[in-house]
Amino acid sequence: MLLVGCDGPLSALSPAGPAARDIAGLWWAMLAGAGALTALVLVLLAMAFGPPRQITPTRWTHGLGMGLSAVVLIPLLGAGLWVGERILPRDDGALAVRVHAVQWHWEFTHDGPDGPVETRDRLILPAGQPVDMVITSADVIHSLWVPQLGGKMDAIPGRTNRLRLQADAPGLLHGQCAEFCGVGHAVMRFEVLVVPPEDFEAALAEAAGGNDD
């Protein structure tokens, strides 16, 4: 029942894209691993109250100290590297959106059919294709996070960071600044409008029209 609380628009456990799915899978694997280790510790604790056993020191150091750590840590490290590498942006000509963080809002600049389209606190993405966020900051460190699409990426003054996001299907998702950045941090939220790829240019044109008002 507690897991019901893990659902919702800002939950990394209800993924809506491939990177978020990988991250959620890793989260569940780590939860299972932590559960297994907790159970093992409880078993060892229970055994400690039983009669003394003859366990050689080498068995402790090699078996539990090295063997168990290797069994747990090597797959976890491997999975972490694999997932991490898969969600990195790469030079494959993917769409890019410039993301500029300002105390306390987000400015998104999309490449529209008639030039750049700037939106405030609203990111527009085409469904089913990778889009690279090119992230900068005007003042302090912020962090771009759309939990249902992927991990966080810091927006750091004087630096450009990249984060690849991909959404499965059209819909409205939500994002939030994930690095405390001052009194307005809690309200530094934004919407992610995911549209069918064939409607992407129309959505940008509409957003550009809205900006002129």
Give the binding site for Cu ion (CB under 5 A): 142, 177, 181, 185, 188
Shortest Å, Cβ 188 to Cu ion? 5
Distance (Å, whole) CA 42 – CA 39: 5
In the bound state with Cu ion, the residue whose beta carbon lies nearer, of 127 and 155, is 155
CB of residue 173 to Cu ion, shortest distance in Å: 18
d(CA 144, CA 131) in angstroms, rounded, equals: 14
Q: SS3 for 13?
A: coil
Nearest residue (CB) to Cu ion, 174 versus 185: 185
Q: 89: closest CA among 155, 25, 162? A: 162
Instruction: For the CB of residue 181, give the shortest distance to Cu ion in the complex, in Å.
Output: 3
Q: In the complex, what is the shortest distance from the CB of residue 175 to Cu ion, in angstroms, rounded to a whole number?
A: 11
Taking the mean position of all CA atoms in its chain, how far away is CA 96?
18
- Cβ closest to Cu ion, residue 87 vs residue 181: 181
Q: Which is nearer to Cu ion, 71 or 186 (CB)?
A: 186
Distances (CA, A) of 77 to 2, 18, 82, 92: 28, 20, 9, 27
